[in-house]
């Protein structure tokens, strides 16, 4: 059976000849009798055509019956040609008829109107197992299945009345007790019934199995918890299961025939129809696609894992497309709850650790201030510097801990600038050597022509110093520490492995030949508060801080390690095409600059102590300082027309207007106004995901007053 001669290699050499005789598709059926080919039956189709099993079975039936009819006709013609004598004609006809009768694979019979067989050919005994004499001695109705007897008697009555019975089916009992399905073509001649009967038991079983298979597939389709549909190669909906239809509250007739991407499943979600159309077109071209998305449905927003795949025929052509979707909303919500639970657990650990650390630091600060006040009252001025130094040292350690925690939470305010990592490492190399000690050999391998990157250089320095300290701790007996930089162009696969977008990055890697880490430790290395160091030797925040900094900077960090062979930690940071800031661009500490005549700074902060300290520093330097405790009050001053050269504002402000909103409102009134955020904790959303807009700058609390004065002077200038 060949559906299309243009596609079948067996007919490739004779396509034109076959098409010329309207044989674009055909079936040829060889007829075998006594192990010999006796005929070849052809069915031709002028158009391409599939030949399902039921068609082939029908063709076989017709072919075999045609063969029998042809043979009978040939016998009749040959008998007619025998004119030598009546006896010779009768003898020859009898021989021919007997030959067909004996050789036919069909069961041939003659019966009377009383319900008995008069004659049967040998095929009956072969098929049913009864001898011909046994079948002649009993009424034929005795062999019929009880459930088929009523309709058989009706058919027999029709024959008695002269009505032919074509393709009548019933079941006949075999001698072994089983039943065979028979198909009858019967006519009446001179009060006798002549019948050609075929055994169709195999065809019946195949048809029943096909029905069972289709029923099973339909049941699986309708009872699946997955959303499933069937599309034509053009993407139109042919069928959809109940789960998918229930998700949008429609019936099958509402979507069958529509392009899949235009159905209500996707039409209420912006941009999703186009993505689905592209996926369906890819499947029509033979490519499977998978994706995850959240879709707007009548019952609310739901998330799905979605796939679409082609369905091919035996020739490999795409004949249908199968989209499937699994609802992942509950799983995602459960994962989010788990993450929140883990965060709460981390907060619980954080609370105890912070309370201990900050109490120690606050004791150092408050104790130093109390002794400072006592010594001043006693007139012992010579001892003042010692307490001032102790208080400042404790404050700096508190600030460092705060910045580390903010980096861990990825909420620290970054001040990214074009940075040459090679130059930064060169400036840090001496500090690293002193920190790791003489037992560790430090080597810096700086890549030539290293690209610049846009990062907060102080955070990068802090990250590198932490990695070097970790490397030192992994080599208790000493060893080799290497800091290496390089340019990296990540293609789709490499970027996917690092959870980055493809493109250009620089890498900064710190490696050691120390103890290394097993896979289970690597898997948890970036978890907050996880540490393998002894109690009191580490907080478990170092790598978490580095991870937070890298991700917030648009990059990634990866650990490569083997137990006993050492560890390499690599930072991947996006390439920046601008020029790096040179050392000359960095403001060097010096005497606090004085204000020019009339210059005014507006200070907005809800903490009175901070406002007081900043305002006094400004006034000491000759600035006009104006104060406001919240955003609306500061905005009124800006709306008044009073000269304001610089807005200094905290980010988190009360009364419904935060620092960013105040700055935007101020810019609307005074487009050239410079803004300096002073903050110790900035939400990403407040400062544009951690990055400052043009004309806006940040100074992180706590800060030195001379640093504040220098920054103000630089911004106003």
**Confidence band, pLDDT 50/70/90 cuts, at residue 482:** very high
Residue 361 corresponds to which tokens in the numbers above? Answer: 């630091």
Q: Report the distance separating Cα 235 and Cα 278, nearest Å.
A: 10
Beta carbons of 486 and 525 less than 8 angstroms apart: no
**Confidence band, pLDDT 50/70/90 cuts, at residue 586:** very low
Domain span holding position 651: 590-716
Domain contains 627: yes
Q: Report the distance separating Cα 288 and Cα 477, nearest Å.
A: 55
| Segment 316-332, tens digit of pLDDT | 899 999 998 888 888 87
Domain contains 346: yes
Is a pLDDT exceeding 80 seen at residue 405?
A: no
Which of these three, 293, 327, 361, is where a domain ends?
327
Asked if residue 689 and residue 669 are part of one domain, the reply reads yes
Asked if residue 550 and residue 602 are part of one domain, the reply reads no
Residue linked to tokens 């429609």? 250
83-94 mean pLDDT: 57
Determine the pLDDT at residue 526. Answer: 74
Domain contains 532: yes
Asked if residue 350 and residue 319 are part of one domain, the reply reads no
Q: Looking at residue 508, which CATH number applies to its domain?
A: 3.30.565.10
Average pLDDT over all residues of the chain: 82
459-488 mean pLDDT: 89
Domain contains 274: yes
Asked if residue 55 and residue 17 are part of one domain, the reply reads yes
Task: Burial-class residue 124 by CB neighbours within 10 Å (0-12, 13-18, 19+).
Answer: buried
Determine the pLDDT at residue 8. Answer: 92
Domain contains 95: yes
| Segment 142-194, tens digit of pLDDT | 999 999 999 999 999 999 888 888 889 999 999 999 999 999 999 998 889 99
Is a pLDDT exceeding 50 seen at residue 539?
A: no
Which of these three, 275, 298, 327, is where a domain ends?
327
Number of structural domains in the chain: 5
Parallel, antiparallel, or unpaired for β 179-189 and 289-297? unpaired
Q: Report the distance separating Cα 217 and Cα 223, nearest Å.
A: 10
Q: Looking at residue 676, which CATH number applies to its domain?
A: 3.40.50.2300
Asked if residue 378 and residue 448 are part of one domain, the reply reads no
Positive or negative, the CA dihedral 524, 528, 531, 535 is negative
Beta carbons of 515 and 564 less than 8 angstroms apart: yes
Residue 69 corresponds to which tokens in the numbers above? Answer: 């009819």
Instruction: Quote the pTM value.
Output: 0.35
Determine the pLDDT at residue 149. Answer: 93
Which of these three, 559, 583, 607, is where a domain ends?
583
Indicate the DSSP class of residue 287.
-
Indicate the DSSP class of residue 175.
T
Q: What are residue 442's DSSP bridge partners?
A: 481
Domain contains 457: yes
Determine the pLDDT at residue 533. Answer: 54
Asked if residue 573 and residue 456 are part of one domain, the reply reads yes
Q: Report the distance separating Cα 245 and Cα 385, nearest Å.
A: 78
Determine the pLDDT at residue 410. Answer: 44
Is a pLDDT exceeding 70 seen at residue 655?
A: yes
Domain contains 132: no
| Segment 2-61, tens digit of pLDDT | 999 999 999 989 999 999 999 999 999 999 888 899 899 999 999 999 999 999 999 999
Percent of the chain with pLDDT over 70: 83
**Confidence band, pLDDT 50/70/90 cuts, at residue 224:** low
Asked if residue 337 and residue 304 are part of one domain, the reply reads no
Residue 583 corresponds to which tokens in the numbers above? Answer: 């050392």
Percent of the chain with pLDDT over 90: 32
- CA distances 310 to 227, 288, 289, 307, 313, Å, are 16, 7, 10, 10, 10
Is a pLDDT exceeding 90 seen at residue 618?
A: no
Is a pLDDT exceeding 70 seen at residue 681?
A: no
Is a pLDDT exceeding 70 seen at residue 304?
A: yes
**Confidence band, pLDDT 50/70/90 cuts, at residue 528:** low
Is a pLDDT exceeding 60 seen at residue 409?
A: no
């Amino acid at each position: 059976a060949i559906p299309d001669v243009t596609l079948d290699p067996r007919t490739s050499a004779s396509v034109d000849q076959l098409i010329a005789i309207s044989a674009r598709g055909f079936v040829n059926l060889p007829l075998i009798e006594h192990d010999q080919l006796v005929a070849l039956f052809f069915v031709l189709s002028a158009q391409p055509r599939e030949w399902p099993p039921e068609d082939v079975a029908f063709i076989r039936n017709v072919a075999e019956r045609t063969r029998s009819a042809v043979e009978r006709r040939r016998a009749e013609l040959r008998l007619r040609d025998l004119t030598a004598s009546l006896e010779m004609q009768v003898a020859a006809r009898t021989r021919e008829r007997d030959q067909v009768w004996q050789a036919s694979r069909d069961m041939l019979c003659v019966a009377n109107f009383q319900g008995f067989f008069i004659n049967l050919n040998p095929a009956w005994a072969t098929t049913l197992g009864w001898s011909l004499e046994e079948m002649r001695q009993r009424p034929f109705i005795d062999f019929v299945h009880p459930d088929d007897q009523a309709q058989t008697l009706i058919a027999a009555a029709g024959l008695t009345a002269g009505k032919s019975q074509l393709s009548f089916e019933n079941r006949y009992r075999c001698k072994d007790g089983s039943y065979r399905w028979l198909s009858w073509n019967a006519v009446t001649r001179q009060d006798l019934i002549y019948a050609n009967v075929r055994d169709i038991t195999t065809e019946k079983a195949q048809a029943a199995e096909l029905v069972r298979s289709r029923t099973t597939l339909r049941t699986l389709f309708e009872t699946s918890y997955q959303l499933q549909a069937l599309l034509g190669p053009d993407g139109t909906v042919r069928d959809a299961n109940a789960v998918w239809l229930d998700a949008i509250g429609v019936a099958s007739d509402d979507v069958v025939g529509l392009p899949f991407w235009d159905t209500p499943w996707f039409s209420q979600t912006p941009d999703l129809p186009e993505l689905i159309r592209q996926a369906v077109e890819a499947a029509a071209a033979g490519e499977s696609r998978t994706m995850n998305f959240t879709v707007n449905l009548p019952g609310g927003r739901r998330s799905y894992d979605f796939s679409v795949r082609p369905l091919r025929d035996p020739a490999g052509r795409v004949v249908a497309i199968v989209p499937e979707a699994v609802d992942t909303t509950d799983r995602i919500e459960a994962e989010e709850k788990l993450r929140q639970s883990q965060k709460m657990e981390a907060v619980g650990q954080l609370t105890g650790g912070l309370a201990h650390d900050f109490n120690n630091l606050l004791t150092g600060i408050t104790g130093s201030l109390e002794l400072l006040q006592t010594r001043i009252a006693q007139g012992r001025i010579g001892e003042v510097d010692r307490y001032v130094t102790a208080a400042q040292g404790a404050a700096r350690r508190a600030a460092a801990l705060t910045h580390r925690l903010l980096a861990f939470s990825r909420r620290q305010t970054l001040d990214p600038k074009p940075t040459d990592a090679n130059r930064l490492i060169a400036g840090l190399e001496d500090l690293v050597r002193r920190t790791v000690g003489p037992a560790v050999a430090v080597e810096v391998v700086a890549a030539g022509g290293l690209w610049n990157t846009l990062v907060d250089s102080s955070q990068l320095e802090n990250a590198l110093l932490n990695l070097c300290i970790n490397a030192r701790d992994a080599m208790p007996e000493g060893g080799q520490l290497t800091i290496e930089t390089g340019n990296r162009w990540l293609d789709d696969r490499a970027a996917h492995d690092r959870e980055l977008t493809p493109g250009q990055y620089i890498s900064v890697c710190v490696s050691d030949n120390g103890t290394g880490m097993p896979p289970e430790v690597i898997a948890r290395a970036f978890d907050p508060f996880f540490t393998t160091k002894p109690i009191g030797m580490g907080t478990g925040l170092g790598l978490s801080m580095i991870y937070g900094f890298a991700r917030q900077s648009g990059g990634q960090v990866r650990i490569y390690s083997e137990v006993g062979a050492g560890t390499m930690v690599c930072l991947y940071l996006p390439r920046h095409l601008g020029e790096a800031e040179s050392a000359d661009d960095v403001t060097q500490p010096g005497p606090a600059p004085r204000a020019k005549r009339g210059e005014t700074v507006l200070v907005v902060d809800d903490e009175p102590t901070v406002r007081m300290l900043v305002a006094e520093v400004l006034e000491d330097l000759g600035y006009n300082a104006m104060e406001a405790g919240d955003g609306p009050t500061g905005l009124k001053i800006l709306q008044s027309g009073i000269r304001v050269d610089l807005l200094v504002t905290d980010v988190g402000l009360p009364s419904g207007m935060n620092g960013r909103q105040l700055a935007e409102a101020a810019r609307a009134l005074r487009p050239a106004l410079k803004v300096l955020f002073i903050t110790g904790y900035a939400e990403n959303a407040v400062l544009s995901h951690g990055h400052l807009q043009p004309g806006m700058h940040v100074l992180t609390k706590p800060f030195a007053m001379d640093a504040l004065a220098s920054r103000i002077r630089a911004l106003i200038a």
